[in-house]
Structure 1
Amino acid sequence: MSVFNAIDEERDIDVNEFTPSLEPQATWCPGCGDFGVLKALKQAMPEVGRTPDETLLVTGIGCSGKLSSYFQSYGFHSIHGRSLPVARAAKLANPDLEVIAAGGDGDGYGIGGNHFMHTARENHDMTYIVFDNEIFGLTKGQTSPTSPKGHKSKTQPRGNAKSPIRPLSLSLTSGATYVARTAAVNPNQAKEILAEAMEHDGFAHVDFLTQCPTWNKDAKQYVPYIDVQDSDDYDFDVHDRREAMEAMHDAEDALYEGKVLTGRFYVNDERPSYQQEKQSTGDMPETPLAERYFDDDYEWERSYDFLDRHK
């Protein structure tokens, strides 16, 4: 018997299991898009077949960081921009866990941008949800990496002088094997994309557009959304990296022109995950590392036992 007995437990899963028994009062502002992320994530979990005991949600700092307080599972509230390294360590120690990391656009694309690029490059098997509202919300409305050029804020009162980053393109060029964009006002698509992202073997990045009615009133995230998979105007192969890159470029240009394109942009099911690569070279054992802490008979290895000493 161990703490891992809940992994791969076969039973029917109810969406209400992911609501804490003592549910805290959400402190998000009325109309905040973060409510849509929480709802979509809860609804996606039964689709994936995971229970709260099989799931770990790691969050960063910001309004998005509160997600783990309102979602029933194992949780870790990390420091600013550091949700991904914590999530990576947990997944490496126990690959059978469903690991989800979450953070805002400032947390994920700014302060934690280096972790984002290298987690994608290494293709760690996890889902990364970035709440993209084009603003720093929790700290009261400063310009973020996705704020459009010319946007006025407390830190850029005369208008943002910098062009926003392109999160989808950055994700693709860094090495992510599942890249999608969805929105809080499109709950059905959001649920489907989150479920696909969790079922994907590799690094799945979801740029989740979340409106901020308090600090970003001029964001163009209230306009109608266009699902690129349902529209005849957008025909590209999500498995073709070059076609996906062009589609992402169009979507990122259109966003600041009042046209919001959402959907799956790139899917690569053939590239092995980081965990699979490490196991193939013998650098990572088949038995979860975390399991060893509960095995009194396990004989621990030390690095000096299998590495040649410097001569």
Structure 2
Amino acid sequence: MSAFNAIGDEREIDRDEFTPGLEPQPTWCPGCGDFGVLKALKQALPEVGLTPEEVLTVTGIGCSGKLNSYLDTYGFHTIHGRSLPVARAAKLANDGLTVVAAGGDGDGYGIGGNHFMHTARENHDMTYIVFNNEVFGLTKGQTSPTSPKGHTSKTTPHGNAKSPIRPLSLALTSGATYIARTAAVNPNQAKEIIKEAIEHDGFAHIDFLTQCPTWNKDARQYVPYVDVQESDDYDFDIHDRKEAQEMMFETENALYEGTVLTGRYFVDERPSYQQQKKELGEMPEEPLAERYFDDDAEWERSYDLLERHK
């Protein structure tokens, strides 16, 4: 019997199935934006017809890393900045799994920035949610890659001398094929964006604004927010790279000027890495993971696939 035989089964799914029995109540600080991510994800997964057995949640280190402790799916808690390579390997081993990777802004845009860039470039079929609270939360409030210039903390007591990273622009430049920003204060939009990201075939990046009331008290709570799709003040084509780039640049500038813009910014139908590997004949249709449960499976070794060097 395979551990993956539930994949593809159609049945009614209740969102409560995604609440674990051992640790159902998150221990995040009261008012933390991470609650908003968890709620939106729990609402989105059953609405796209997924069961807990069909989902793998891979997280990094930090407050956001507790996500898969509070979400009853397959889970893997990686070391700092390494959620994406583990998620990529899992998706390649079992393409039937829906893979959701998550990490904080320090985890994803700092220590794991290299993995972020290349996972987007290769367009791996997964959803990547970055909890962006503009600070390192779990390690007690150090300045992070998204902290604004002038931000004071124990690591920058005289003010941050560096300009913050531009997450949306970085995702676009790197090659992500679905890019969006939402906020914990907008749960309905967050749920819909997560649903779209999961259903998207390719690398979907969500910059999720999550307020930190404990270690970033000076930061705005990301309200009021403006949905760029619903506002008459913004009109751009999310399928046009140039228009999306200009809108992202405006959005990233506006955040530090007191205007919170959220919504969908870019969608592209470029084939995913998994699709391309299958077309090249380098990725089997049957999940490699299934071979562990098949005594008759023929195992291939790399030295059998490559010609001997002469």
Output the TM-score relative to the length of structure 1.
0.98
Correspondences of 1:200-239 after superposition (within 5 Å): 200-239=200-239
Distance 2:223 2:191 in 1: 20
Alignment correspondent of 2:46 = 46
Q: CA deviation at 1:9?
A: 0.9
Distance 1:277 1:93 in 2: 15
Alignment correspondent of 1:283 = 282
Distance 1:174 1:149 in 2: 24
Q: Secondary structure at the match of 1:160?
A: coil
Distance 1:15 1:306 in 2: 44
Moved more, 61-70 or 17-26: 17-26
Moved more, 70-79 or 23-32: 23-32
- Counterpart amino acid of residue 66 in structure 1: K
- Counterpart amino acid of residue 227 in structure 2: D
Alignment correspondent of 1:97 = 97
- Counterpart amino acid of residue 302 in structure 1: R
Distance 1:304 1:188 in 2: 51
Alignment correspondent of 1:128 = 128
Identity %: 81
* Residues 70-112 of structure 1: per-residue CA shift (max 9 Å, x gap): 1111101100000000100000000010100000000000000
Distance 2:8 2:305 in 1: 33
Alignment correspondent of 2:177 = 177
Moved more, 21-30 or 75-84: 21-30
Q: CA deviation at 1:222?
A: 3.7
Q: Does 1:266 align with 2:266?
A: yes
Q: Is the 8 A contact 1:117 1:171 kept in 2?
A: yes
* Residues 131-188 of structure 1: per-residue CA shift (max 9 Å, x gap): 0000000011000000000000000000000000000000000000000000000000
Q: CA deviation at 1:283?
A: 1.1
Q: Does 1:302 align with 2:301?
A: yes
Unmatched runs of 5 consecutive residues or more in structure 2: none
Q: CA deviation at 1:24?
A: 4.1
Correspondences of 1:108-127 after superposition (within 5 Å): 108-127=108-127
Q: CA RMSD in A?
A: 0.8
After TM superposition, which residue ranges in structure 1, 4 or more long, deviate above 6 angstroms?
Answer: none
Unmatched runs of 5 consecutive residues or more in structure 1: none
Q: Secondary structure at the match of 2:56?
A: strand
Q: Does 1:198 align with 2:198?
A: yes
Distance 2:69 2:297 in 1: 35
Q: CA deviation at 1:3?
A: 1.5
* Residues 214-254 of structure 1: per-residue CA shift (max 9 Å, x gap): 11111123430000000011100001111100000000000
Q: CA deviation at 1:43?
A: 0.3
Q: Does 1:74 align with 2:74?
A: yes
Distance 1:117 1:259 in 2: 27
